[in-house]
Amino acid sequence: MKRTAIMTLAAAALACLPLVGGAGNKPVNAFTESAAVASHAGQVRVTITFDNRGAHPVYVPNDLATEEELTNAFFEITTIDGEKIPYIGIMAKRAPPSAEDYRKIGPRSKHVNTIDITPSFDFKPGSHHYVLSYEARYLTDLKNLDKPSSAGMVRVEFTHAK
Protein backbone atom coordinates (compact mmCIF):
# COMPACT_ATOMS: atom_id res chain seq x y z
CA MET A 1 0.00 0.00 0.00
CA LYS A 2 1.41 3.34 -0.98
CA ARG A 3 1.72 5.74 1.92
CA THR A 4 0.63 9.26 1.24
CA ALA A 5 2.48 12.19 2.71
CA ILE A 6 0.17 14.44 4.64
CA MET A 7 1.23 17.58 6.40
CA THR A 8 -1.06 19.56 8.54
CA LEU A 9 0.04 22.99 9.58
CA ALA A 10 -2.00 24.13 12.52
CA ALA A 11 -1.90 25.88 15.80
CA ALA A 12 -0.88 28.93 13.82
CA ALA A 13 -0.42 32.10 15.71
CA LEU A 14 -1.53 31.34 19.21
CA ALA A 15 -2.68 34.55 20.79
CA CYS A 16 0.22 36.59 22.04
CA LEU A 17 0.31 36.43 25.78
CA PRO A 18 1.92 39.10 27.91
CA LEU A 19 4.96 37.93 29.83
CA VAL A 20 5.96 41.17 31.44
CA GLY A 21 3.41 43.87 31.82
CA GLY A 22 3.13 47.11 33.56
CA ALA A 23 1.54 50.47 33.75
CA GLY A 24 2.48 53.34 31.53
CA ASN A 25 4.93 52.73 28.72
CA LYS A 26 6.58 49.56 30.00
CA PRO A 27 7.16 47.05 27.21
CA VAL A 28 5.17 43.83 27.01
CA ASN A 29 6.82 40.65 25.73
CA ALA A 30 4.95 38.26 23.47
CA PHE A 31 5.68 34.55 23.20
CA THR A 32 3.91 31.98 21.06
CA GLU A 33 4.45 28.31 20.47
CA SER A 34 3.04 26.44 17.50
CA ALA A 35 3.32 22.91 16.11
CA ALA A 36 3.00 21.20 12.75
CA VAL A 37 2.78 17.46 12.20
CA ALA A 38 4.11 15.65 9.13
CA SER A 39 3.27 12.00 8.47
CA HIS A 40 5.32 10.44 5.71
CA ALA A 41 6.62 6.93 4.95
CA GLY A 42 5.34 5.58 8.25
CA GLN A 43 6.95 8.27 10.39
CA VAL A 44 5.27 11.03 12.39
CA ARG A 45 7.34 14.14 13.08
CA VAL A 46 6.27 17.14 15.14
CA THR A 47 7.93 20.46 14.37
CA ILE A 48 7.61 22.98 17.18
CA THR A 49 8.26 26.68 16.64
CA PHE A 50 9.03 28.89 19.63
CA ASP A 51 8.58 32.56 18.74
CA ASN A 52 9.64 35.24 21.21
CA ARG A 53 8.64 38.62 19.79
CA GLY A 54 9.30 40.39 23.06
CA ALA A 55 12.19 42.40 24.45
CA HIS A 56 13.17 39.85 27.14
CA PRO A 57 14.29 36.21 26.92
CA VAL A 58 12.02 33.29 27.75
CA TYR A 59 12.97 29.72 28.62
CA VAL A 60 11.36 26.59 27.21
CA PRO A 61 11.83 22.91 28.16
CA ASN A 62 14.84 21.28 26.50
CA ASP A 63 12.72 18.16 26.00
CA LEU A 64 10.70 20.00 23.38
CA ALA A 65 13.30 22.51 22.20
CA THR A 66 16.31 20.28 21.60
CA GLU A 67 15.47 16.55 21.73
CA GLU A 68 14.87 14.47 18.58
CA GLU A 69 12.71 11.83 20.34
CA LEU A 70 10.27 11.99 23.24
CA THR A 71 11.46 11.08 26.72
CA ASN A 72 8.08 11.54 28.42
CA ALA A 73 4.43 11.80 27.48
CA PHE A 74 4.42 15.53 26.68
CA PHE A 75 1.80 15.18 23.98
CA GLU A 76 -1.64 13.65 24.06
CA ILE A 77 -2.82 12.00 20.87
CA THR A 78 -6.40 11.00 20.24
CA THR A 79 -8.37 9.86 17.24
CA ILE A 80 -10.67 12.47 15.78
CA ASP A 81 -13.46 10.68 17.74
CA GLY A 82 -11.61 11.18 21.04
CA GLU A 83 -10.09 7.70 21.54
CA LYS A 84 -6.76 8.14 23.34
CA ILE A 85 -3.70 6.63 21.63
CA PRO A 86 -1.43 5.02 24.27
CA TYR A 87 1.99 6.52 24.91
CA ILE A 88 4.48 3.64 24.73
CA GLY A 89 7.71 5.62 24.67
CA ILE A 90 10.38 6.29 27.25
CA MET A 91 9.26 7.45 30.69
CA ALA A 92 12.41 8.96 32.16
CA LYS A 93 12.42 9.43 35.92
CA ARG A 94 13.82 12.79 36.77
CA ALA A 95 14.61 15.08 39.60
CA PRO A 96 12.66 18.32 39.70
CA PRO A 97 13.67 20.55 36.78
CA SER A 98 16.71 22.79 37.10
CA ALA A 99 17.86 25.77 35.06
CA GLU A 100 19.87 23.38 32.84
CA ASP A 101 16.59 21.76 31.71
CA TYR A 102 15.55 24.89 29.79
CA ARG A 103 16.64 26.48 26.53
CA LYS A 104 16.81 30.24 26.27
CA ILE A 105 14.87 31.88 23.44
CA GLY A 106 16.34 35.34 23.08
CA PRO A 107 14.38 38.53 22.51
CA ARG A 108 12.90 38.89 19.03
CA SER A 109 14.02 35.40 17.96
CA LYS A 110 12.62 32.05 16.94
CA HIS A 111 13.74 28.51 17.55
CA VAL A 112 12.47 25.42 15.71
CA ASN A 113 12.86 21.74 16.67
CA THR A 114 11.53 18.54 15.10
CA ILE A 115 10.75 15.46 17.19
CA ASP A 116 10.09 11.97 15.80
CA ILE A 117 7.13 10.63 17.80
CA THR A 118 6.64 7.45 15.74
CA PRO A 119 8.05 4.98 18.31
CA SER A 120 6.39 6.80 21.21
CA PHE A 121 2.73 6.14 20.39
CA ASP A 122 0.79 2.98 19.58
CA PHE A 123 -0.78 4.29 16.38
CA LYS A 124 -3.65 2.20 15.01
CA PRO A 125 -3.14 0.04 11.91
CA GLY A 126 -4.44 1.61 8.71
CA SER A 127 -4.98 5.27 7.93
CA HIS A 128 -6.55 7.38 10.68
CA HIS A 129 -7.15 11.03 11.49
CA TYR A 130 -5.56 12.12 14.80
CA VAL A 131 -5.36 15.14 17.09
CA LEU A 132 -2.10 16.00 18.89
CA SER A 133 -2.45 18.42 21.81
CA TYR A 134 -0.40 19.76 24.69
CA GLU A 135 -0.12 22.81 26.89
CA ALA A 136 2.74 25.11 25.86
CA ARG A 137 4.64 26.26 28.95
CA TYR A 138 7.56 28.63 29.36
CA LEU A 139 9.48 30.52 32.04
CA THR A 140 10.32 34.19 32.19
CA ASP A 141 12.81 33.76 35.04
CA LEU A 142 15.02 30.75 35.78
CA LYS A 143 14.92 31.67 39.47
CA ASN A 144 11.22 30.74 39.52
CA LEU A 145 11.23 27.23 38.07
CA ASP A 146 8.04 26.38 39.92
CA LYS A 147 6.09 29.21 38.23
CA PRO A 148 5.76 28.40 34.53
CA SER A 149 3.47 30.47 32.37
CA SER A 150 1.11 29.00 29.81
CA ALA A 151 1.15 30.00 26.15
CA GLY A 152 -2.12 28.10 25.75
CA MET A 153 -3.12 24.75 24.33
CA VAL A 154 -1.55 23.66 21.09
CA ARG A 155 -3.80 21.43 18.96
CA VAL A 156 -2.90 19.94 15.58
CA GLU A 157 -4.91 17.54 13.42
CA PHE A 158 -3.11 15.10 11.12
CA THR A 159 -3.58 11.85 9.23
CA HIS A 160 -1.21 8.93 9.65
CA ALA A 161 -1.07 5.51 7.97
CA LYS A 162 0.61 2.66 9.82
pTM: 0.81
Predicted local distance difference test score (pLDDT) of residue 92:
77
Task: For the chain, give the DSSP string.
Answer: -PPPPEEEE-S-SPPPEESS--STT----EEEEEEEEEEETTEEEEEEEEEE-SSS-EEEEHHHHT-SB-SS---EEEETTSPBPPB-S-----PSP-GGGEEEE-TTEEEEEEEE-GGGB-PPSSEEEEEEEEEEEEBS-TT-TT--EEEEEEEEEEEEE-
Q: Is residue 48 part of a domain?
A: yes
Does a structural domain hold residue 10?
A: no
Domain range for 120: 29-161
Tally of domains within the chain: 1
CATH number, domain containing residue 94: 2.60.40.2970
- The answer to whether residue 18 is domain-embedded is no
Q: Is residue 13 part of a domain?
A: no
In terms of C-beta density within 10 A (0-12 exposed, 13-18 middle, 19 or more buried), how is residue 41 classed? exposed
Please give the pLDDT value at position 74: 94
pLDDT tens-digit profile, the chain (162 residues): 333 333 333 333 333 333 344 334 444 449 999 999 999 999 999 999 999 999 999 999 999 999 999 989 999 999 999 999 999 998 877 788 899 999 999 999 999 999 999 999 999 999 999 999 999 999 999 999 999 999 999 999 999 999
In a domain, 75, yes or no: yes
Residue 65 lies in a domain: yes
157 and 36 Cβ atoms separated by less than 8 Å = no
User: Would 16 be classed as within a structural domain?
Assistant: no
- Residue 108 has a pLDDT of 97
Residue 83 lies in a domain: yes
